[in-house]
Structure 1
Amino acid sequence: MGTTFHGPSPWSHITRAIGTRGARCAAIAYVGQDAPNLLPLRAGDVLVVNASKAAVRAHATSPAALAYYLGKGVRVLSSPTLHAKVIATNRRAVVGSANASENSTFADDAVIITDDPEVVASVRKFIDGIDEITEVDQVFIDNANREWEIGRAVPIPGVTGRFRDTEADFLPAPVTRMFVKHAIDYTPSLTEQHLMEQPRPRQRTTAGPVVKYQLESLRIDSPSAVRRGDVIVFVSADDEWIYAPAVVVSDAVRIPRSGGAVLYFLRIRADLPPLSLSDAAAALADLGHPGPRLQTDHYVRSPTLRAALLTLWDF
Structure 2
Amino acid sequence: MGTTFHGPSPWPHITRAIRTRGARYAAIGYLGQDAPALLPLRAGDLLVVNASKAAIRAHATSPAALAYYLNKGVRVLSSPTLHAKVIVTNTRAVIGSANASENSTLADDAVVITDDPDIIASVRKFIDSLDEITEVDQVFLDDAILEWEIGRAVPLPGVTGRVRIETDFLPTPVTRMFVKHAVDYEPTRTEQQVLDELRGRHHSRGGPAAKYQLESLRLDRPSGVKRGDVIVFVSADDEWIYAPAVVVSDPMKIPRSGGAVLYFLRLRTGLSPLPLPGAEKALTDLGHPGSRLRTDHYVRSPGLRSALLGLWDL
Cα deviations across residues 209-267 of structure 1 (Å, max 9, x unaligned)?
A: xxxxxxxxxxxxxxxxxx99899xxxxxxxxxxx94443279xxxxxxxxxxxxx9988
Deviations 1:84-104 (A, max 9, x none): 000000000000000000000
Contact 1:59-1:152 within 8 A present in 2 as well:
yes
Contact 2:86 2:95 in 1 (8 A): yes
Structure 1 CA distance for aligned equivalents of residues 16 and 151 of structure 2: 34
The reply to whether residue 110 of structure 1 matches residue 90 of structure 2 is: no
Whichever residue aligns with residue 142 of structure 1, its letter is: D
* 1:101 is aligned to 2:101: yes
- 1:1-315 to 2 correspondences below 5 Å: 1-163=1-163, 178=178, 244-248=224-228, 301-302=293-294, 305=297
Equivalent pair of 1:45/1:74 in contact (CA under 8 Å): yes
Equivalent position SS for 2:119: helix
Indicate conservation of the 8 Å contact 1:32/1:61, yes or no: yes
Amino acid at match of 1:36: P
Distance 2:97 2:247 in 1: 23
SS at match of 1:21: coil
SS of 1:247's partner is coil
Deviation at 1:153, TM superposition (A): 1.2
For residues 11 and 116 of structure 1, do their structure 2 counterparts lie closer, same or farther at Cα, with a shift above 3 Å needed?
same
Alpha-carbon offset, residue 38 of structure 1 = 0.1
How far, CA to CA, are the matches of 1:135 and 1:56 in structure 2? 15
TM-score (normalizing by structure 2): 0.57
Counterpart of 1:56, as a letter, is I
Contact 1:244 1:268 in 2 (8 A): no
Q: Deviations over 1:68-111 (max 9, x none)?
A: 00000000000000000000000000000000000000000000
Larger radius of gyration: 2
Q: Deviations over 1:2-28 (max 9, x none)?
A: 000000000000000000000010000
User: Is the contact between residue 179 and residue 295 of structure 2 (CA under 8 Å) also seen in structure 1?
Assistant: no
SS at match of 1:100: coil
Matched residue type, 1:2: G
Q: Answer yes or no: is the 8 Å Cα contact 1:162–1:249 preserved in 2.
A: no
CA 2–106 in structure 1, closer or farther in 2 if over 3 Å, else same: same
Residue aligned with 1:60, SS: coil
Letter of the 2:42 counterpart: R
Letter in 2 for 1:124: R
Cα contact 2:154–2:161 (8 A) shared by 1:
no
3-state SS in 2 of match to 1:67: helix
Note closer, same or farther for the CA distance 1:126–1:27 as it changes in structure 2 (3 Å cut). Answer: same
CA distance in 2, matches of 1:113, 1:299: 53
Percentage identity across paired residues of the two chains: 70
Q: Are the structure 2 counterparts of residues 24 and 249 from structure 1 closer, same or farther at C-alpha, using a change threshold of 3 Å?
A: farther
Q: How large is the RMSD of aligned CA atoms in angstroms?
A: 3.3
Counterpart contact for 1:178–1:300, Cα < 8 Å: no
- Cα distance, 1:300 vs. partner? 6.5
How has the CA–CA distance of structure 1 residues 304 and 137 changed in structure 2, closer, same or farther, with 3 Å as cutoff?
same
Q: Distance in 2 between matches of 1:138 and 1:86?
A: 25
Judged with a 3 Å threshold, the aligned counterparts in structure 2 of structure 1 residues 302 and 25 are, in CA distance, closer, same or farther, namely: farther
SS where residue 248 of structure 1 aligns? coil
What is the one-letter code of the residue matched to 2:131? D
> In 2, Cα distance between the equivalents of 1:143 and 1:297?
57
2:99 alignment partner AA:
N
Contact 2:87 2:93 in 1 (8 A): yes
SS at match of 2:227: strand
**Structure 1 residues 20 and 266, CA gap change in structure 2 (3 angstroms):** same
Where does structure 1 lack aligned partners over 5 or more consecutive residues? Answer: 165-176, 181-226, 232-242, 251-263, 270-295, 307-315
- One-letter code aligned to 2:8: P
Quick check: 1:23–1:90 contact (8 Å CA) kept in 2?
Answer: yes
Aligned residue type for 2:154: V
The verdict on how the C-alpha distance between 1:299 and 1:109 changes in structure 2, with shifts beyond 3 A counting, is farther
Q: Name the count of aligned residue pairs.
A: 198
